[in-house]
Amino acid sequence: AQTVTQSQPEMSVQEAETVTLSCTYDTSESDYYLFWYKQPPSRQMILVIRQEAYKQQNATENRFSVNFQKAAKSFSLKISDSQLGDAAMYFCAFGFYGQNFVFGPGTRLSVLP
Amino acid sequence: GAVVSQHPSWVICKSGTSVKIECRSLDFQATTMFWYRQFPKQSLMLMATSNEGSKATYEQGVEKDKFLINHASLTLSTLTVTSAHPEDSSFYICSASPRLLLDTGELFFGEGSRLTVL
């Protein structure tokens, strides 16, 4: 069975600074997807970034980037130039096409003005 | 991007009544939909997997007779909380997996429904 661990229940960052959220996972599969989702107070799940396991290159989306270490089964999210709107619950998720994700417990990110 | 609409966004009902929550994929066909329950400050807990035209697969510990799931078409799945009680109060979220999609592996989420049982 797959598991996803987020060891930081809460994090805070100063506005305009950089923060890294940690995620580790466990699986015996070789081909899979990894995601970071953001859940703001509205509770809508918003995709932040995705990574295919077969790609060695780390995914980037504007201010968001990941550090994907397949051998270590690590998938951290870096948020650069943090903005007040980045404050949310962040979930790391592991998945296959068409199948349910395995979600981590989440990290609550606060952005300080 | 693909859109999943969930309705109602919030509902209050009396204990003993039944409540239906709808999950619709607006611009794609969803062979599979998932229903989650989320407690405050916790992660999403999978309740059941719904496949079009077949019975839903429930996770261990989820009461099939209390949480009725129907996936009658490729764009609609419903969750009915039967004989609701205050302990059923929660935030319920659906997600959908497109039938035909570039292989992104992504799931698309509804806006969620907050149920309060008095």
Please give the pLDDT value at position A9. Answer: 97
Q: Does B42 touch chain A (CB under 8 A)?
A: yes
What is chain A's Cα-based Rg?
Answer: 13
Please give the pLDDT value at position A96. Answer: 74
- Quick check: B102 pLDDT over 60? no
Cβ pair B44:A95 closer than 8 A: no
Given pLDDT bands bounded at 50, 70 and 90, which one contains residue B100? low
A52-88 pLDDT per residue, tens:
998 889 999 999 999 999 999 999 999 999 999 999 9
- Quick check: A31 pLDDT over 70? yes
Burial per residue of B87-113, b for 16 or more beta-carbon CB atoms within 10 angstroms, e otherwise: ebbbbbbbbbbbeebeeebbbbbbbbb
Q: Which residues of B touch A95 (CB under 8 A)?
A: 105, 107
Please give the pLDDT value at position B34. Answer: 93
- Quick check: B25 pLDDT over 70? yes
Cβ pair B93:A43 closer than 8 A: yes
Q: Which residues of B touch A35 (CB under 8 A)?
A: 105-106
Considering only alpha carbons, which residue of chain A is nearest residue B110? Answer: A44
- Quick check: B101 pLDDT over 60? no
B60-95 pLDDT per residue, tens:
999 999 999 998 888 999 999 999 999 999 999 999
Residue range B95-114: mean pLDDT, rounded: 80
Residue position matching structure tokens 């997807």: A33
Question: Bigger pLDDT: A93 or A28?
Answer: A93
Q: Name which of B95, B105, B112 is nearest A97 (Cβ-Cβ).
A: B105
Say what the alpha-carbon torsion angle A68, B99, B28, A89 is, to the nearest 10 degrees. Answer: -30
Please give the pLDDT value at position A67. Answer: 97
Please give the pLDDT value at position B52. Answer: 83
Q: Name which of B32, B42, B109 is nearest A45 (Cβ-Cβ).
A: B109
Q: Name which of A37, A42, A98 is nearest B32 (Cβ-Cβ).
A: A98
- Quick check: B8 pLDDT over 70? yes
Q: Which residues of B touch A44 (CB under 8 A)?
A: 109, 111-112
